[in-house]
Amino acid sequence: MSLLDRLRAQIAQDGPISVAEYVTRCLHDPRDGYYATRPALGEDGDFLTAPAVSQMFGELIGLWILETWTLMGRPAPVRLVEIGPGDGTLISDILRAARLLPEFLAAADLWLVEVSPPLRRVQAAKLANAPVTPRWADRLEAVPAGAPLLLVANEVLDCLPAHQFVRTLDGWAERVVGLDEHGNLAFGLKHLGPPPVGEAARKGRWGEQTNVGQLPPPSPLATPPPQGEDLEPGVVVESSPAQAALGSEIGHRVARDGGAALLIDYGRDAPGPGDTLQALKAHTKVSPLAQPGQADLTVWADFPAVLAAAAEAGATTGPILPQGAFLQGLGIDQRAQALAAARPDQADKLARQLDRLTGAAQMGQLFKAVCLSAPGLSPPLFEGP
């Protein structure tokens, strides 16, 4: 049975599932999930990430890591960790920049947190001649403790599922995935308060049916935020316990063992409503319910929630920086000029890459960078107000 057939059978038997569960199944089903079956990235895949745009991205992050390690007192060993390394381009560029400081490479214990066997094989091939031999773990918890951490996670938060809640005339409802009258996957609403009556009992937002079955109550961590009580009917609010949990885990780790973590993603720098669930296939937006397991499903990173969870776990958190400002603070303009001077035939290409990474209409504003660090450590550009 295909993933679609298995989802239909599960929903027909047990009732609708939350959007968060649906996304988890589509991405991580061990047989037919997106990450188990589709290792292609970049131009040949479904989406393009910053490391694939230009080597400048990874090289500058590598320099940020070297400077942060120096501020830490150059501890050895130091765990160099990337969560979700994709095809290995980012960590490869980081290690190339790190050759400027051989002492760091000698101290670095490299770990890649990756659950996908196909992607692990791609990463191993990419790093076959790397100056540091990588090891793999399927979760951060499996990376050995007891040494300071320097961690990078680029476009990881957006891969973590979120619950979606819809404000209705009768209170909050959770958006769920059920079956329509033809047996096709369809969005619906499961009311969280008293059962609705009258017209509200028959229709939810956009005419979605609310009588698509019952779900267990959502986790307390996935309840709609209190500030949403005055929102207009039809407005969507997202809550991602998974993103907050990762922020908490990383925050606890750097608070206990020392070090810093750099998280880069597209998302919010302030709490707010909005339906950000999207599916990408061959660089084109498609319906999230079409062809489960064959498209990349994402939601925006909720940076305020991630930082709050990390701070509660004991980490120091700095400002939320737009990616453009972060890279410019690291000297990307000067790096692009130097590369163009060395290769004038590549000047136009470099200018396009620079605009893609830093331009306000490209990745420069929507994408943001945050840092979680040990108390007393102020990594470059994240010194706070």
Q: Which CATH architecture has domain 42-160+241-373?
A: 3-Layer(aba) Sandwich (3.40)
Percent of the chain clearing pLDDT 90 (strictly above) = 75
- Residues, the chain: 385
Percent of the chain as helix, strand, coil, to the nearest 5: 40, 20, 40
Check residue 224 and give its pLDDT.
63
CA atoms of 252 and 199, how far apart (whole Å): 48
Alpha helices in 113-194 (DSSP H): 117-126
For the beta carbon of residue 226, count every other beta carbon within 10 angstroms: 7
152 touches 82 (CB < 8 A): yes
364-382: pLDDT as tens digits: 999 999 999 999 999 999 9
Check residue 211 and give its pLDDT.
38
Check residue 283 and give its pLDDT.
76
| Side chain identity at residue 347, one-letter code | A
Percent of the chain clearing pLDDT 70 (strictly above) = 87
Return the domain boundaries, the chain: 3-32+163-239, 42-160+241-373
Q: What is the DSSP letter of 183?
A: S
317-358: pLDDT as tens digits: 999 999 999 999 999 999 999 999 999 999 999 999 999 999
User: What are φ and ψ of residue 18, in 5° steps?
Assistant: -70, 160
Q: What is the dihedral of CA 78, 82, 83, 85, to 10 degrees?
A: -160
The full DSSP string for 1-57 is --HHHHHHHHHHHH--EEHHHHHHHHHH-TTT-HHHH----GGGSS---HHHH-HHH
Q: How confident is the model at residue 229 (pLDDT cuts 50, 70, 90)?
A: low
The residues that bridge with 175 in the sheet, in sequence order, are 189
106 touches 82 (CB < 8 A): no
CA atoms of 30 and 174, how far apart (whole Å): 27
Report whether pLDDT(205) > 60: no
Please indicate whether residue 341 or residue 196 has the higher confidence score (pLDDT): 341
Check residue 47 and give its pLDDT.
58
Average pLDDT, stretch 14-26?
Answer: 95
| Side chain identity at residue 313, one-letter code | A
Token pair in block for residue 139: 């979760």
88-130: pLDDT as tens digits: 999 999 999 999 999 999 999 999 999 888 899 999 999 999 9
Report whether pLDDT(271) > 90: no
CA atoms of 81 and 90, how far apart (whole Å): 12
**What's CA 117's distance to the chain center, in Å?**
19
Average pLDDT, stretch 8-22?
Answer: 95
Q: Read off the pTM.
A: 0.89
- Write the CB contacts of 376 (distance below 8 Å, at least 6 apart in sequence): 316
**Distances in Å between the alpha carbon of 96 and those of 82, 118, 125, 355?**
15, 24, 16, 23
CA atoms of 125 and 356, how far apart (whole Å): 28
Report whether pLDDT(198) > 50: no
Check residue 118 and give its pLDDT.
86
Check residue 227 and give its pLDDT.
53
User: What are φ and ψ of residue 316, in 5° steps?
Assistant: -90, 135
Pairing label, strands 185-191, 278-281: unpaired
Average pLDDT, stretch 262-272?
Answer: 94
Token pair in block for residue 310: 């990390």
Q: Counting Cβ atoms within 10 Å, is residue 209 exposed (0-12), middle (13-18) or buried (19+)?
A: middle
Report whether pLDDT(204) > 90: no
Alpha helices in 266-319 (DSSP H): 303-312
Average pLDDT for the chain: 89
132-167: pLDDT as tens digits: 999 999 999 999 999 999 999 999 999 999 999 999
The full DSSP string for 351-385 is HHHHHHHH-TTTTTTTEEEEEEE-TT---TT-S--
